[in-house]
């Protein structure tokens, strides 16, 4: 069992992925939550933020307190710490941070390609999986920013958005979309013969847990050996992802 991520490993081993469920009137294929679903997201978030007022954490570090408290967004620095722990478990993992610091929604595709190539020139890639977190602007109420992730494993590209909004609907400044960015990554980082897969199952039904879902996806696929399809065919209710956040808190408190 993982030494640096013991709690996350134990949680994922003990809790099989729940099967996916039809979102019904709350969501659609490729377009994420419907208007009714978005309203439900806002109420869920509001309730969780109210719950956090009286929530007592058992951990002292700031990142662990944020992880344990309901209704709290996970900021990039916390995710970076967790991803570094994952990289220790997968010594051949390449984490590319080009699109992780600022929202890419205010950039055009050529600017993003230049940034990516610049980072690649300064980073020696090994033959292992490539993980590219992507931070973007978002238009859900209370959620100014959103994070997805693109992974390249065995020459195939997997794009994961916990809200299941297809990359072709995520706009960049110049009218291009994140799908164009995905295609660009395929051109630059693969031999262009692999497939591109995107998830169409809505996992996130709130406005603050996107980074937790992305962290869970990366951990399950790169440490636990789950496939993109296995995650696609699952549902990850709020209680499940809160338990995973608590496991993250335990692991990040462990030196």
Burial class (CB in 10 A: 0-12, 13-18, 19+), 251: buried
Q: What's the CA gap between 231 and 217, in Å, rounded?
A: 7
**C-alpha angle with apex 142: 140 to 143, nearest 5 degrees?**
60
**What's the rounded mean pLDDT across residues 153-171?**
91
The answer to which of 58-67, 68-77, 151-160 has the lowest mean pLDDT is: 58-67
Confidence of residue 226 (pLDDT cuts 50, 70, 90): very high
Mean pLDDT of the chain: 81
Question: What pLDDT is recorded for position 68?
Answer: 64
Residue 36 or residue 53, greater confidence = 36
Which of these CATH numbers, 3.90.180.10, 2.40.100.10, 3.40.50.970, 3.40.395.10, describes 6-253? 3.40.395.10
Confidence of residue 142 (pLDDT cuts 50, 70, 90): low
Segment 1-20, tens digit of pLDDT: 456 788 999 999 999 998 87
Whole-number percent of the chain with pLDDT over 90: 25
pLDDT at residue 182 tops 60: yes
Residue 76 or residue 155, greater confidence = 155
Tokens of 255: 């030196």
**What's the rounded mean pLDDT across residues 214-240?**
92
Question: What pLDDT is recorded for position 1?
Answer: 46
Q: What's the CA gap between 58 and 14, in Å, rounded?
A: 22
pLDDT at residue 140 tops 60: no
Confidence of residue 148 (pLDDT cuts 50, 70, 90): very high
**What's the rounded mean pLDDT across residues 117-137?**
85
Q: Domain residue spans in the chain? A: 6-253
Q: Highest mean pLDDT: which of 75-79, 122-126, 242-246?
A: 242-246
Question: What pLDDT is recorded for position 252?
Answer: 83
Q: What's the CA gap between 25 and 99, in Å, rounded?
A: 33
Quickly list DSSP for 119-146: HHHTS---SS-EEEEEEEE--STT-SEE
Phi, psi of 180 (to 5 degrees): -65, -35
Question: What pLDDT is recorded for position 215?
Answer: 93
Burial class (CB in 10 A: 0-12, 13-18, 19+), 18: exposed
What is the enclosing helix (H) or strand (E) of 158? strand 156-160
């Amino acid at each position: 069992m993982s030494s640096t991520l013991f709690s996350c490993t134990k949680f994922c081993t003990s809790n099989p992925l729940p099967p996916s469920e039809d979102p019904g009137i709350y969501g659609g294929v490729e377009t994420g939550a419907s208007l009714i679903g978005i309203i439900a997201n806002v109420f869920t978030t509001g309730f969780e933020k109210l719950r956090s007022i009286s929530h007592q954490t058992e951990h002292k570090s700031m990142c662990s307190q944020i992880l344990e408290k309901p209704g709290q967004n996970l900021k990039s620095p916390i995710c970076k710490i967790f991803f570094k722990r994952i990289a220790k478990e997968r010594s051949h993992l390449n984490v590319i941070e080009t699109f992780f610091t600022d929202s890419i929604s205010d950039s055009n595709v050529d600017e993003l390609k230049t940034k990516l190539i610049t980072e690649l020139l300064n980073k020696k890639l090994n033959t292992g999986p490539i993980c590219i977190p992507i931070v973007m602007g978002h238009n859900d109420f209370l959620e100014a920013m959103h994070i997805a992730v693109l992974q390249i494993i065995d020459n195939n590209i997997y794009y994961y958005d916990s809200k299941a909004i297809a990359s072709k609907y995520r706009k960049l400044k110049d009218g291009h979309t994140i799908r164009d960015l995905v295609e660009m990554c395929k051109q630059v980082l693969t031999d262009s013969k692999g497939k591109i897969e995107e998830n169409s199952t809505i996992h996130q039904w709130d406005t603050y847990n996107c980074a937790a879902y992305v962290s869970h996806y990366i951990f399950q696929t790169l440490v636990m050996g789950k496939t993109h399809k296995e995650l696609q065919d699952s549902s990850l209710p709020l209680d499940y992802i809160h338990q995973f956040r608590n496991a993250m808190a335990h692991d990040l408190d462990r030196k």
